Structure 1
């Protein structure tokens, strides 16, 4: 301890003043800032939870209003006893159709189930053909009920995913006359709620009191739902994993946290509403507490500014204590440009002189290191540019040239001519730097040249059929988009077959989009192989590839240029081949991009 005190006594007064001022003020500021931060964080948490609960309450009000609307319709039907009379079937069907036209936003199908088991509906023809096995059990349950009840969600042949609102119908004498059944349109209900919850960072779920999912998964859900929540693999329409659904059902009313596939989620669960359902809103933790995180950032910024100001103040104060350091500090403060580093006059022989000489040596070393880094970065950029310009895999060229050589030895002059023509055309198409975009017709021409080369190499291993509608040929797309998909089909789907494989490509326009369907009858893929297909960008390029571009690269290029609404969908089963669906905007190639690129 005495040794440390003696060392401390040898320090300069400027350093002592600086340390005492800087440390003491920093500790005081830290204590005050920490207390204020805790109070502000508590206030923000209450505000965030209040906002989330407000959304939940408004959603439940919407569901209650939905229930009231359906109840009004059921009560209106209960007053029409004449519709249950024998012989009034046509009248009943007409009334139900009229109600359905006026209130189609509330439900899909309406039924009147008479006591004798006869079913009347606004979709009578469809019912007579398809039927609905859920109706009679619901009517039997209504026989022993005293008021309206809501069924558990089920899949209806006429209404899809639905929940039934059932009201028993009794005569003036109290006898059971039948039941009125309304199948709710859960898809439309989900869509209306998704418009409120539609965000990358939040989604929702609706479950019954028994833990069964209510909302329809096939329409209306935000894309975030399929990213934030865990879904069963290989199941369509998507279904939540059973363990996650059970954990969500056991959550207490209010706010809690649970694990999701992308990390921790904040779940805000409502109490059971009048429908007997729970509404659960899921948020990414960072998104839910973004105001609190912003508060942390503000405090960090304030602390950094305070430390800088405190440092400069202490430094300014110390300059009055030790005059020889002023010149050195001033010189160091003027160091901004690494290209021009000022030197300090080192005429003194004491510590200040040695410090000045060390500083000059350090600046010279920094200047040298900066120049070395710049040269290394320049060389790296040049190497990267050369790698990007070399797109064609050398093994593909080697194998193709070897094939041409073999054809020449066999005196197959026509095959040699066509193969060389296809190779030259394919290389010209690939090396053309004037634009990254081509028309579908140009892309198909390049694809045919590639397929011809592969057919020459592998014989009758596969056939390629292209059926492109004339209205799609002028549509624009990224160059080398179809070739990697066909290449993948050849080497992963058809290579192991002992018969001639078939690759079929069709194009069409659907609602302003260019849809391209690529199907092969190869070995297909299981879910694990399908998942690895979209992870292939992490693998080394195959020696059989033409460009080294994989399926995932194609998907990411499309999404990067056109947005996340476009891309690839892959459907496959073992032994049944593979289908790839590509969606692109139905529009011509961007002419301005082509011109600017060519000019450059």
Structure 2
């Protein structure tokens, strides 16, 4: 017989050969590939940051232009109202004080009307405003942006100035930018992204940045250099990416991007410390080997899953169907390994379970039918015994003219009672049968037991057991009205209460003592006369509980000398057409 190689051994050889070959290959290539990818991603990421910073300055430029136009409109509208102009400049400055140092008007004599607190007080002419006023006068249709300079009242700043067109005398509008706010924004980016950003003018002066994180830079007099390369030379090159070296010979990567609105340049200087940190975290070949092992493990898992997927999926599907109660499921796994053995053993076990369930169901059904036959046989003799007694009593009383009525009613009762007990009847049929029964009892006892029907709409066709109501009515006559000794009404109610249908028989007779109610529905060996008198109720109670559960059956509510109610409880789901026992 050929020796079969087990599934675990097959998988071991496949995994061992594949892992060994992949680790040898990946360990040779991973480091260079990772280094290249990190460098590429670092450049791409830095360019993304530069684009975001440029967008930030573009938005600010639009805001500053809006301020200038607002001032121009306000001044032209109130040219003769100096106090109004001062107040509006003050309000506009306070509204934008987060990113501007001052908003003011420059007169021809270089005096000002200022918006900030110092310039509202000290408005004397200053020579530092001369270049601003001259530039505005030469470019009356555009906005002039100055180089950074040291202002007496605004500190290190850049001024945006625009000539006030429409004024009766030469005048310019100026906005001093708060370079400290710009620099603080750049510092936050530098700290969060571990970068070294700065904003540079076309002449190479630093507007903001570099102060907290100079790295390889040499900063002096608001300009900078990298190694032997000055800022002017860096800005003159057309290339956006430069590789430079510090005085110590360390490599430095520089990226630059001109701003869209200002004549400025955003530059990023990186000494490759981030790249080295990333590569250090990988711990060269060891970490690269672990990464390769992770990828390799995933791939191997895929191969293993693919190899065992079909039989495992088939077994899982088969078990799920069995869980859902589909015991006849058949999914064949034609394999000469452990999965095949497991599938065949499962099929054999499932077949045995099906056979056991079938035998159990057959046994239960037979037992159920036997119980029904026994219970039904208990009702019929009891009914015949009492009905024949009624005929005997009529003849004894000499009421010959009523014999035909009694016999006619008896024939109807017998035809109704000997029909197939396994079939349900409507409540309407039961009421008609009870009417025949009371007709006999009225003649037998020479009494008038009035039958009152109070049936809720829709319940006349409710399915009930055959011979359900007659034992209940008989109990009212025999126990409630002392076996015909007194007469009174017998009321039959039928109504729904939640998920239950209640059919009750009510009499106004002697009632049942409280100490006997709990024993009425319990079949116990004892006095045969007592047992015979309550055999009808016991059987009805047993039939209902047998077929619908312990929560259903009969209930007895009695107030001695006033009223007795015997209730039969059924599930209301039978209204939907459930005609099974």
Bin of the TM-score, shorter chain as denominator length? 0.3 to 0.5
TM-score, with structure 1 as normaliser: 0.40
